[in-house]
A = this chain, B = another copy of it.
Amino acid sequence: MKPKTARKKPVILITNDDGITAPGIQNLVEAVKDLGKIVVVAPDKPQSGMGHAITIGNPLRLHPVQLFKDIEAWQCTGTPVDCVKLAVDKVLHRKPDLCLSGINHGSNHSINVIYSGTMSAAVEAAIESIPSVGLSLMDYSLEADFSASRKYARIIVEHLLQNRIDKHLILNVNIPALPDTLIKGLRICRQAYAKYEEDFVERNDPTGRKYYWLTGRFVNFDKGKDTDVWALEHNYVSVVPVQFDLTNYVLKTKLEKTWKL
């Protein structure tokens, strides 16, 4: 007989923006698979830079895939945010206990949180009252070493499962591209004001017409030592708590005082 106090395994939804075949999501599943019942719903193709895009004018498809040993997995034709919505409504038929997104190939610190499909999936989960964590390794390559990332993913997930957490919790976790022995640990941070300075590359197609490639140079305007950029530069894993209330309360108070309505 099962003891009455036996806790059910938590349900953990895993998604990403690099697509379901990316090594990063494989590593995330491996890192946490014994901590809960894992279900994967992820895009069928790369969706980097998709931000919080949702699919409005087109229908979505969902196909089961056998990419992860003994784990239910579905690939979706939509964006990372679509994946979270479809997972809750049509795959799980309930809210999971936790949503993990990643491990992204490449950083999502500072302003990248806004452009990132990885982080937008996490934000979407929290909007739907599912605590969530987005994880990104600062290495774009397909052969990136995810061992330190796996260790920290597990530490964070264990902590969240063992403690009472806010249903709207979102963590933006970035891991330096370093061997575990060189990483100094976790550091709670704020989002740095650091961004890309755009510089489009202009080219001509074979018929002579111009086209543009988005490129950019990363610039940190923020000298604070409490930022994610500072933490990563000093070999910490950065953890930024994120919110989806975008109200600028400081400006709100100021406008209420100064704007004669």
Chain A contact residues, CB within 8 Å of chain B = 46, 48-57, 59-62, 81-82, 85-86, 88-90, 111, 113-115, 120, 123, 127-128, 159, 163, 166, 169-170, 185-191, 193, 195, 198-200, 202-203, 209-214, 239-249, 251-252, 255-256, 258-259, 261
Q: Give the residue of B57, B60, B191 whose beta carbon is less than 8 angstroms from that of A246.
A: B191
Bound Cα distance from A56 to B45, whole angstroms: 13
**B169 lies within 8 A of A59 (CB):** no
**A55 lies within 8 A of B186 (CB):** no
- Least CB distance, A124 to chain B, in whole angstroms: 8
Bound Cα distance from A157 to B52, whole angstroms: 28
Bound Cα distance from A217 to B260, whole angstroms: 36
Specify which chain B residues have a CB less than 8 angstroms from the CB of A214 in the assembled complex: 54-56, 60, 82, 85
Specify which chain B residues have a CB less than 8 angstroms from the CB of A210 in the assembled complex: 61-62
**B56 lies within 8 A of A185 (CB):** no
Specify which chain B residues have a CB less than 8 angstroms from the CB of A189 in the assembled complex: 252
Specify which chain B residues have a CB less than 8 angstroms from the CB of A86 in the assembled complex: 200, 212
Q: Give the residue of B120, B170, B247 whose beta carbon is less than 8 angstroms from that of A243.
A: B247
**B114 lies within 8 A of A213 (CB):** no
A90, A123, A186, A246 pick with most chain B CB within 10 angstroms: A246
- Least CB distance, A101 to chain B, in whole angstroms: 15
Closest to A190 in B: B247
**B166 lies within 8 A of A211 (CB):** no
Specify which chain B residues have a CB less than 8 angstroms from the CB of A261 in the assembled complex: 185-188
**A246 lies within 8 A of B85 (CB):** no
**B51 lies within 8 A of A166 (CB):** no
